[in-house]
Structure 1
Amino acid sequence: QVLEIMINDSVLLQEAGNRGIKITDGQLNQAMQNIARENSMSLAAFRQTLINKGFKYEGYRATIRKEVTIDTLRRQYAARSSPVTKAEVDEFIHRTGGDNIEYEYRLAHILIALPDAASPERVNTALQTANLILDRLAQGGQFEQLANEFSSGSNALQGGDLGWRKKAEVPSLFSKAVQDMTPGDYAGPIRSPSGFHIVSLTDRRDAEQVLTEQTRTRHILIRSNDLISEEDAKSRLDELRDQILAGGDFAKQARLHSVDYASGADGGDIGWMDPGGTVIEYENVAKLLRPGEISEPFRSQFGWHIVEVTGRRTVDETKETKRRKIESQLLLRKQREAFDIWTRQLRDEAYVVFPDAQT
């Protein structure tokens, strides 16, 4: 097996050479620094540690150079892999339940307390009180008010609120009931040594919920050129901004003057953007603006801008984020399988010569 691994590595290194893949000393040094950093060491300390353990440092560098070369070949070949289709993601989710949601629960609780060794009469009275509460809930009573009125729990004055709980943090006494609830449901009475319980599911959320704050903007872009200086570009935007603030139409000015012709045709509208969706200068200015507010002229790599924030919203991207994660995992698997098949093909086509042990 060791010999076969050595042959495969030699075949891949030869193929990398045929493709012009060459790891420079600078790339190798960066790889060595990354390894040292992963071990919480400086490169000098990492080198000394290797020497102390009996490794030859130059030999170790040569091994890392080979690994980086093969990894570069693998990534280059992986770029040829076909993308993962929507149907493949859907099939994976259907087969594995890959979109199963791990919920967090917000619970409220009413406790009708009983002392140790309570008499049957006392137990019956407590049960009647619990059933009374359930009747009032069925008639539209508010759980929070009933908790304030009847509960002996420590959180009664907070409407019985237990806060957000992960699945494993839900009291085992009513964990099964909670998992079958939808927000607004309640269950009880549930008997325990401490008394009778009524539990309500106030809210439920995905434990892996991904909320993205999106911003919608429009802008006017003017670039300097042989005829327009930097100062002139900024001055033109100052004038346009003044006209818009005086009642002018931003969209009309964008169509007339912006050299971002794609957005200019739409009145300067960029559309909804996720964080990191544009250059940092633009994003930083937009962050500070209120909806309807127009920025002062500012410079980015594309030229001079004025920007107006036209809206903000929070988007739940949990489902799409999970799909992208599954897609990434499937693509990685597909790339690895394709590379393994290609490696075997190269190995089968290779002519291997074993040196004579006596020479």
Structure 2
Amino acid sequence: MPSLPGLLLTLTLGVFALTAQAERPVDRIVAVVDDGVILESELLQKLDGVKRSLRQGNTALPPDSVLARQVLERLIVDKLQAQMAEKAGVRVDEETLRTAVQQIAQRNNMSVEEFRESLRQEDIDYADFVDQIRNEIAVSRLRSSQINSQIKISDREIQNYLETQNPSGASSDTQYLLAHILIATPQAASPAQVQKAKEKADKLLEDIRAGLDFKQASLSASDSEQALKGGELGWRKKSEIPSLFADLVDHMKEGGVEGPIRSSSGYHLIKLIGVKGGDQHLMTKTRVRHILIKPNEVLSDDDAKKKLLALKSRIENGDDFGSLARGHSDDKGSAIKAGELGWVQPGALVPPFEEAMNKLEINQLSEPVQTQFGWHLIQVLERQQSDDGDEFRKNRAREELFKRKADEETELWLRRIRDEAYVEIRLESE
């Protein structure tokens, strides 16, 4: 989920025009996107949020006209995805939405009420904020169904990855911070369109090497999804870097820029911002059990928490955890095993559960922990550390190959839905 600065968007009124019937302000349409529209107020709101985020990062702003074009293009792609999610019947239930807001508040060390107050102080309507979170979750689920479900990783690919990326079998945590610029070409691009994109990428690379800031170049010219973040891809292991760039990073120096690199999406420029890590870790596995109480039409959220606290008190007074789990837990799969989830690896459980579990001593009972599934009482039974075994390395290889493919397929998918959509931009004509 996006971080708070990216989500805190200041509502700003647009330039108003007079209607024919009455002298009252109306919201201009700045783009028609298939069967929807983008209003000037949406553009100005998003533009204001992007400017705020860039200023917080001490990034010089490009001219408003250039930044507005970039922001509008991102809104167009977002609108297309939201329309697709709606047509596909993707729904976000209130419990998932409530949990998402709670997690955002927790990451900012606030209660939900404190978080709402911080939004109010930023002149952000809470209902609008929640609607944005709803849309982001829906789009994430759409991408999962459209892209992730289609990606297959074969055993042969995993074996090849282990042999070529890591022939010794050792686990490396070296990470690279890359930034990326894409000069896109449409699907089935003509030779003239490909040549025009190549010339633009060449000129941009020349300007960057002559002193143009890479972030500025990304904000002004990139067609990548990361354009408004200055092109940054975040810290990644080599295996998580798109395969198009992966072989280049070993030969790049920090601050170096490479390109243009041709792909089916267009031409790419990449910059190596930093390198860190390189140490191995031991993996900690945890044997854990829990009791789950789910709120429902009869049992309110507060009552579910109180019920769990009563069960905790009984255990502390001598009642058997396993017996209470069998009799009361709403997780029927673990209830029949006295609440046991067995041995779990890092990342196997939802973040609020895992964070609480990792703080517990052996046999210690947690306070009630809320996740999207309900309220949990958690107890750690054992922990053990082990060096990365073959099975774990295979699982990690599968995850890293999946992420690499997902990044590449997402870029292609976004370009495809943009190229195939009907889009009429009215930014300059109004």
What TM-score, normalized to structure 2? 0.39
Structure 1 length-normalised TM: 0.46
